[in-house]
Amino acid sequence: MVRIANLEDIEEIYNLNTELFVVLNELKENIYNPIGFPREYISTMIRADNSDYILIEDDDKVVGYALVEKRAAPIQIYECFKKDEFAYIDEVIVLPEYRSKGYGKILIEEATKWAKTRNLTSLELNVLSNNYSARAFYENAGFEEYQLKLRKEI
Q: Distance between CA 99 and CA 14 in Å, rounded?
A: 19
Judge whether 53 and 7 are in contact, CB under 8 Å. Answer: no
Residue 4 pairs with which residues in a beta bridge? 54
Radius of gyration of the chain (CA): 16
Write the pLDDT tens digit of every residue in 99-144. Answer: 999 999 999 999 999 999 999 999 999 999 999 999 999 999 999 9
Q: Kindly list the structural domains of the chain, giving each domain's residue range(s) and its CATH number in brackets, ordered by start.
A: 2-140 (3.40.630.30)
pLDDT in tens, 55-102: 999 999 999 999 999 998 766 667 777 788 999 999 999 999 999 999
Helix (H), strand (E) counts: the chain? 4, 5
Per 3-state DSSP, the chain is made up of helix, strand and coil in percentages (nearest 5) of 35, 25, 40
* Predicted TM-score of the model (pTM): 0.91
142 touches 153 (CB < 8 A): no
DSSP 101-132: SSHHHHHHHHHHHHHHHTT---EEE---TT-H
Instruction: Please state, in angstroms and as integers, the Cα–Cα distance from residue 129 to each residue in 67, 136, 144, 150, following that order.
Output: 20, 11, 13, 10
Integer Cα distance of 73 and 89 in angstroms: 14
